[in-house]
Amino acid sequence: MGYAIAEATLEAGHDVTLISGPVNLDPPRSAHVISVSTGDQMYSAVHRHARECDVLVMCAAVADYKPQKVSRTKIKKRNETLSLELVPTRDILASLSKQGREFLLVGFAAETNDIEENARQKLRAKNCDIIVANDVSRADSGMETDANEVTIFFRNGEKKKISRASKKIIARELVKILANSREKCLTKKM
């Protein structure tokens, strides 16, 4: 979805900085691509470039947890149980505080149940301006497929649904909505 949004944003005539983890996708041609491999690298890259943007779209979260200890060598197989202790990763979206923020912050909520309730809660908890929610429990929509269906929740309580379509079509619609939202924010400040 992130690559589709980047491409649609470029098609609309905007500049794009795409911060991406490892994927098997070709990046959009005119995007400034920053490749990262870890959640900590993603955190640093986002914070380094956030001040330069008008709209920051955070559509793919890194894993919620990471191993507490990482072995430098292969862990040999034994006939005993192995426990892996996990610790929370840094929450990049939540770290982008509203205080002093000049950009529109858009988060995504990949949900399997109580989609609206969870998305609205995330909108408030993460101090986002907009949350784009999608049901990832469906096999024909969301992750690992070319189609999606989303509901967009705005800070003012408004919501808008984009019916199931290809990610490219959804991305184009999202870019229009985000550009309009950004314009409204600028108008309010004048």
Query: What does the domain layout of the chain look like in residue ranges?
Result: 2-63+87-189
Quote the distance between the C-alpha of residue 66 and its chain's center. 19
Q: Following CA atoms 183, 157, 60, 13 in sequence, which dihedral angle do they give, to the nearest 10 degrees? A: -20
pLDDT in tens, the chain (190 residues): 899 999 999 999 999 999 999 999 998 999 999 999 988 999 999 999 998 999 999 987 788 898 999 899 999 999 999 999 999 989 999 999 777 788 999 999 988 899 999 999 999 999 999 999 988 877 665 566 788 889 999 999 999 999 999 999 999 999 999 999 888 776 665 4
| Six token digits for residue 16 | 């794009």
Question: Which CATH number is 2-63+87-189 given?
Answer: 3.40.50.10300
Using CA atoms, how far apart are residues 170 and 9, in angstroms rounded to an integer?
A: 12
The CA-CA-CA angle for residues 180, 182, 183, to 5°, reads: 65
| Six token digits for residue 95 | 């770290």
What does pTM read for this prediction?
Answer: 0.88
